[in-house]
């Protein structure tokens, strides 16, 4: 390509761009600069306009700073930043030499506010300060429909920043806290809804089950039944911190003597029958149920910024930092074994305990006996859960009701904190049932260890 053609093409492209920018400026249809307050959107009463005109005239006479307030009904399809910049240049605000001009632009229909600053004041009225003024002085009043109050407060704060020493205005609470206007109704509505959800999550087992049931890692026996039963209790509080015996108080460790008693009881019962008895004692079956702690910690952490925005003027960075700290702090507390179990609905606890019982039934080899005549006596302390599970060889001949007596005795000892006595008595009752239906055959040997497993 020839150099002459290249220069010609560049000249044509530059001319085209200049024409485009010129057309864009014309298409913007800016209002005329008729005074220090140009209320094209007609959102200011005459008294507010007169008051602002007086303040702005006083500022210009004292400091030479030209501050203009403009409200527009439309941004002509533009973002507010380029519109405000073009309007500032069109009106040629500020002296040519010092360029000390400021434009406070409000577009109420687009819900946008912009503070445009001339070069001579950019070091004083920075973008960061402009955002603080908009967020703390203007926006809260605009949310309540008080446009005159918001603009007046914004103008006051701009004048303070421009006419006082930085060490002075940094101490002024008016630039940080805006407590006069009431919070918007929608903010209070969101806060009320969040508080109601958190309250129901804490005091209503049925509500927690309905909300976080899909997050649970297991929903075995009794889960669906618990859902429908819970509907009658959805607003009945169950206090989390009422005095109850903890797992540690029920049994810290079975002593060697207790384990020996249970093993002897299993051996004595199996001496009368071909059936096998396996006992398992679990501290908790909810160790992997992290869905509830995560959900509750997340709900509270998400609600925290709403609370801070409504009652404080904390900066965004602090709110986000507190939100992260609140989430992980609450998660650590809610994941404590006793707290985690207390947060679980009863139906969810039973579902998790039942799943753990079925896993133990398989892992302890009960289903691999020759005649399928094994039973599992399972207790999960944290969930207050006890269950007797019989293999199919027994279940086909022994009604479930025959195990109920042993379960009732076991649960009664659990409530009193006598776990070893409960196991010994339940083993003896189960042995009697097995001996009645599956008497000992000569030469039959035990296939499974005669012991209790602690998990």
So where are the chain's domains?
A: 29-175, 256-286+346-454, 291-334
Q: Please give the model's pTM, rounded to 2 decimal places.
A: 0.46
Under a CB-based contact definition with an 8 Å cutoff, are residues 414 and 425 in contact? Answer: no
What average pLDDT score do residues 334-342 get?
Answer: 78
CA dist., res. 192 & res. 202, Å (int): 15
Under a CB-based contact definition with an 8 Å cutoff, are residues 218 and 351 in contact? Answer: yes
Q: Which two tokens mark 385?
A: 């859960």
Coil, strand or helix: which one is 361?
helix
Asked whether the domain spanning 256-286+346-454 has the same topology as the one spanning 29-175, the reply is yes
The secondary structure of residue 134, as a DSSP letter, is I
Nearest in space to 270 (alpha carbons), one of 454, 430, 423? 430
Looking at domain 256-286+346-454, its CATH class is: alpha beta
Counting every residue written for the chain, the total comes to 455
Q: Which of 24-33, 101-110, 251-260 has the highest mean pLDDT?
A: 101-110
What average pLDDT score do residues 201-222 get?
Answer: 52
What average pLDDT score do residues 289-293 get?
Answer: 74
* 114-140 pLDDT tens trace: 999 998 898 888 888 898 899 888 999
Under a CB-based contact definition with an 8 Å cutoff, are residues 299 and 343 in contact? Answer: no
Under a CB-based contact definition with an 8 Å cutoff, are residues 218 and 313 in contact? Answer: no
Can you say whether the dihedral through the CA atoms of 406, 410, 275, 368 is positive or negative?
positive
Looking at domain 29-175, its CATH class is: alpha beta
pLDDT band at 369 (very low <50, low <70, confident <90, very high): confident
């Amino acid at each position: 390509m020839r150099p002459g053609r290249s220069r010609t093409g560049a000249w044509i492209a530059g001319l085209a761009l200049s024409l485009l920018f010129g057309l864009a400026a014309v298409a913007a249809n800016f209002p005329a600069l008729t005074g220090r307050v140009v209320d094209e959107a007609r959102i200011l009463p005459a008294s507010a306009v007169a008051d602002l005109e007086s303040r702005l005239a006083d500022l210009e006479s004292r400091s030479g700073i030209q501050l203009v307030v403009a409200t527009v009904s439309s941004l002509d399809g533009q973002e507010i930043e380029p519109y405000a910049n073009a309007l500032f240049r069109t009106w040629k605000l500020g002296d040519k030499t010092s360029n000390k001009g400021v434009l406070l632009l409000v577009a109420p229909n687009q819900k946008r506010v912009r503070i445009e600053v001339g070069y001579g004041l950019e070091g004083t009225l920075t973008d960061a300060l402009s955002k603080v003024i908009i967020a703390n002085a203007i926006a809260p009043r605009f949310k309540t429909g008080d446009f005159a109050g918001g603009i007046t407060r914004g103008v006051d704060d701009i004048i303070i920043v421009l006419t006082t020493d930085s060490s002075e205005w940094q101490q002024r609470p008016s630039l940080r806290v805006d407590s006069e206007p009431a919070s918007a109704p929608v903010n209070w509505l969101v806060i009320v809804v969040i508080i109601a959800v958190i309250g129901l999550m804490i005091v209503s087992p049925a509500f927690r089950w309905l909300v976080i049931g899909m997050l649970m890692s297991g929903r075995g026996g009794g889960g669906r039944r618990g859902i429908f039963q819970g509907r009658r209790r959805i607003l009945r509080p169950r206090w989390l911190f009422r005095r109850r015996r903890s797992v540690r108080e029920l049994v810290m460790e079975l002593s060697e003597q207790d384990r020996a008693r249970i093993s002897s009881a299993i051996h004595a019962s199996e001496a009368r029958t071909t059936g096998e008895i396996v006992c398992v004692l679990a501290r908790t079956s909810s160790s992997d149920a992290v869905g509830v702690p995560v959900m509750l910690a997340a709900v509270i952490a998400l609600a925290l910024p709403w609370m801070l925005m409504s009652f404080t003027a904390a900066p965004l960075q602090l709110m986000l930092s507190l939100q992260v700290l609140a989430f992980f702090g609450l998660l650590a507390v809610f994941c404590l074994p006793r707290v985690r179990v207390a947060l679980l609905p009863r139906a969810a606890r039973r579902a998790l305990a039942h799943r753990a019982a079925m896993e133990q039934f398989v892992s302890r080899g009960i289903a691999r006996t020759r005649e399928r005549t094994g039973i599992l006596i399972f207790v999960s302390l944290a969930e207050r859960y006890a269950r007797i599970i019989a293999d199919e060889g027994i279940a086909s001949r022994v009604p479930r009701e025959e195990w109920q007596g042993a379960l009732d005795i076991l649960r009664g000892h659990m409530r009193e904190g006598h776990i070893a006595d409960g196991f010994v008595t339940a083993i003896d009752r189960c042995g009697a049932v097995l001996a009645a239906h599956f008497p000992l055959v000569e030469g039959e040997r035990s296939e499974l260890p005669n012991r209790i497993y602690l998990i």
